[in-house]
Structure 1
Amino acid sequence: MSDLYAGQVYGVDMDPRWVKRLIRAGRLADATEYTTHLLEQGSGTRLSPDMYRDFMAAMDDGICGRSYGNTFGNAAGLPVEQNAELMPYVPNYPQVTMNVVHKEDWSTTVEYGTVGQVRLTVLHEDLFLPNILERDQALRYDTGSAWPSDGVANVTPLRTTSSALKGLY
């Protein structure tokens, strides 16, 4: 698909045979380092407004597709607003719905424009997973009448302390 649109994709390739070989050779430190490296890549990154603007400038205002993926669902990027200070996403409805809930009370949805923890529900023909709390926080985004479900915006790693966010989490 990226070839069709002349895009570039970043992928993470994991070779379990290499890890098994390292373990059999007694190189546990190397196996641990490799595994840690893979997990750090797979935990996600945060796209900041500055990064988005830099990408757009580098691409001479070309198309910059965004998506938000989490444990069991994905969300497509909607057009950015406020010079990329607001970056909204809408889930793959009806198979996935997303809510933004209070961090201390996952049963209560926050008001639109308020930050909370991302909670999703997955409903496939053969799978139902309700109320999955993600390691992410976001603004609850009102999609209006354009979409039949809420969206999320400005997704970042869930903050449970006052420490600063890192680029990777």
Structure 2
Amino acid sequence: MLANEHPVLDCPPDRVPEPEELLRAALRWHFDPRTGSPFWLRRARSLDFDPVRDVHTFDDLRLFPNVVDELRETRVEDLVPRGYGDSSGRVRVYESGGTTGAPKRVVFTDDWLERSVAWSLRNMSERGHPEGLNWLALAPAGPHMFGEIIARQARARGGLLFTVDFDPRWVKKCVAQGRTEEAARYTEHLLEQAGHVLATQDVGVLVATPPLLERIARDARLTALVNKNVRLIRWSGAHMDPDTRDLLRDEVFPEVELSGGYGSTMILGGVDERPDTEGVSVFDPFSPYMSFRVVDPETGAEVPYGERGQVVMNHVSKTMLLVNNLERDTALRVRSREGQVGDSLGDVEPLASFGGRAAIEGVY
């Protein structure tokens, strides 16, 4: 590996760098022929600006084209920055859920996984989430980042992790083709696995997608098992509207803490629901590595605070540069916390269609 010329990129996981300092260091890293990825070094030739010279603030990231659709076909080796040297043992490949077509692929380096998981663990500690409990994850693993992150979180919090066989793309395909009965049978298959674990093992933390939580809520036996044993439910992976959130929290699982998350492969991770919020769920980014804008999709301008717009995502780190990505979600624009880059997101909802394709959530 090359000697590190940008210490800010390797700052300890418990330190939050100054945003513009991180941005400048990341741009130098990704567009230096010695350290940048073949993808960005090649792509730079088609840009009508100089990323190192002309990008000074996070607002300037809107100069970049949205390249995420190119990740459906790009060789993953071309996404790894050259500065990592022989990276075969330190890089993992993850894919998007395939909600809007063929999956997109990104690379996770060990240093990014360590940093993002450490941040999530700090959030759990600040919220007083229980430790020393076993986890059950009703969430996809395999090519999805979700499984790896959950596994690291469970171990770090002192618990064992139970999982189920979970293929969200099969359900999406069934829904898209009108095979709703088959999709329902697959959901029953997931819940049957979950029920056996809940009935026979000590599970204190349940990680589940909102569609599966809603399905559990309609099953008296499963609901009773969750209320008897589980102390914390962490939901993520799909949209949850405010009425459903209130119903699950106040009536279905009244003795269980409910904590939400919002994630995307295109920001290489997820963010946690702001604690103690009433009404809509609010999500704050892992700033400055992840940042959001909420915009009018026709003009690209930010909508007023409290208004709904489409989400634009940025990821800026040593591992990857993915910026100015107009996502398939809409959200209310919420004022960010002090020192945070960009916007926070309220009441995130998926678009019915995106890029000319129906956006199908299914169970994830």
* TM-score class, shorter: 0.5 to 0.7
Question: Is residue 72 of structure 1 aligned with residue 271 of structure 2?
Answer: no
State the Cα distance separating 1:125 from its structure 2 match: 0.9
Question: Is residue 137 of structure 1 aligned with residue 330 of structure 2?
Answer: yes
CA contact (8 A) 2:306 2:333 kept: yes
Measure, in 1, the Cα distance between the counterparts of 2:169 and 2:136.
25
- Long gaps (5+) in structure 1: 16-33
Which of 126, 138, 149 lines up with 1:10 in the alignment? 138
Measure, in 2, the Cα distance between the counterparts of 1:109 and 1:77.
22
Measure, in 2, the Cα distance between the counterparts of 1:92 and 1:64.
20
CA contact (8 A) 2:305 2:332 kept: yes
> TM-score of the superposition, structure 2-length normalised?
0.34
State the Cα distance separating 1:54 from its structure 2 match: 2.1
5 Å matches for 1:6-45?
8-13=136-141, 35-37=169-171, 44-45=237-238
Give deviations 1:70-118, integer Å, cap 9, x for gaps.
2322221103544x3x210011111110110112123x11111111110
State the Cα distance separating 1:143 from its structure 2 match: 2.6
CA pair 117-159 structure 1, distance change in 2 beyond 3 A: farther
CA pair 154-67 structure 1, distance change in 2 beyond 3 A: same
How many residues are aligned here?
Answer: 145
Q: Percent identity?
A: 22
Measure, in 2, the Cα distance between the counterparts of 1:99 and 1:121.
9
Measure, in 2, the Cα distance between the counterparts of 1:126 and 1:166.
29
> TM-score of the superposition, structure 1-length normalised?
0.68
Measure, in 2, the Cα distance between the counterparts of 1:63 and 1:135.
29
Give deviations 1:107-142, integer Å, cap 9, x for gaps.
x11111111110011101132122011100001111
Q: Which stretch of structure 1 is more off in the superposition, 110-119 or 138-147?
A: 138-147
Q: Residue type matched to 2:312 in 1? A: R
CA pair 129-14 structure 1, distance change in 2 beyond 3 A: closer
Higher strand share: 1
Higher helix share: 2
Residue in structure 2 matched with residue 150 of structure 1 by the alignment = 343
Residue in structure 1 matched with residue 296 of structure 2 by the alignment = 102
Measure, in 2, the Cα distance between the counterparts of 1:119 and 1:159.
17
SS at match of 2:266: coil
Give deviations 1:9-66, integer Å, cap 9, x for gaps.
3212559xxxxxxxxxxxxxxxxxx954266799x52201122112213332532111
Which of 249, 267, 271 lines up with 1:56 in the alignment? 249
SS at match of 1:137: strand
CA contact (8 A) 1:75 1:91 kept: yes
Greater C-alpha Rg:
2
CA pair 8-53 structure 1, distance change in 2 beyond 3 A: farther
Measure, in 2, the Cα distance between the counterparts of 1:38 and 1:12.
13
CA contact (8 A) 1:72 1:122 kept: yes
CA pair 11-167 structure 1, distance change in 2 beyond 3 A: closer
Measure, in 2, the Cα distance between the counterparts of 1:116 and 1:47.
17
RMSD: 3.5
CA pair 12-152 structure 1, distance change in 2 beyond 3 A: same
CA pair 122-111 structure 1, distance change in 2 beyond 3 A: same
5 Å matches for 1:79-94?
79=275, 81-82=277-278, 84=279, 86-94=280-288
CA contact (8 A) 2:329 2:350 kept: yes
CA pair 9-91 structure 1, distance change in 2 beyond 3 A: same
